[in-house]
Amino acid sequence: MLGEAGCQDIVEIVLWLKKKGSLVDGAQEAYRLSGAFDYLREKYETEQGISMNTAAIEQRIRRTIKSALKNLANLGLEDYYDEVFTRYSSVLFDFGEVRKEMDFERGKSRYGGKINAKKFVEGILILLMDKV
């Protein structure tokens, strides 16, 4: 996932949410991902002088998350009881969607799992809270 174009965007969103104070007393406040995409667009425009479209940022992030889902599903196919698989499959994604992706990778299904960008970002925040 680190080599994907949207990886840095995800890191920036998580840092922005943490700085913004979306974590209050261990609970998350409500936020909209569209606000995070707007923040990234403004940041890139001011820091790098690059005019960005929020839809392009969102698509980059979604592709990166889909890549993470594929990697996790493949890990689950290799070893269903792998520590990394069991820890991240239900925190970052809906487990049913991970199973769908696993079936797709096996060739048992025509469609892979769907991603939920907000659940993915919230999962990262939850994992960060556990490490603190």
The pTM assigned to this predicted structure is 0.87
The conformation of residue 2, written as its DSSP 8-state character, comes to T
Largest Cα–Cα separation, the chain: 47
CB 98 within 8 A of CB 73: yes
Per residue of the chain (132 residues), give pLDDT as tens.
Answer: 777 888 999 999 999 988 876 555 544 556 788 999 999 999 999 998 888 899 999 999 999 999 999 999 999 999 999 999 999 999 999 999 999 999 999 999 999 999 999 999 999 988 988 864
Closest CA to 122 of 9, 13, 3: 13
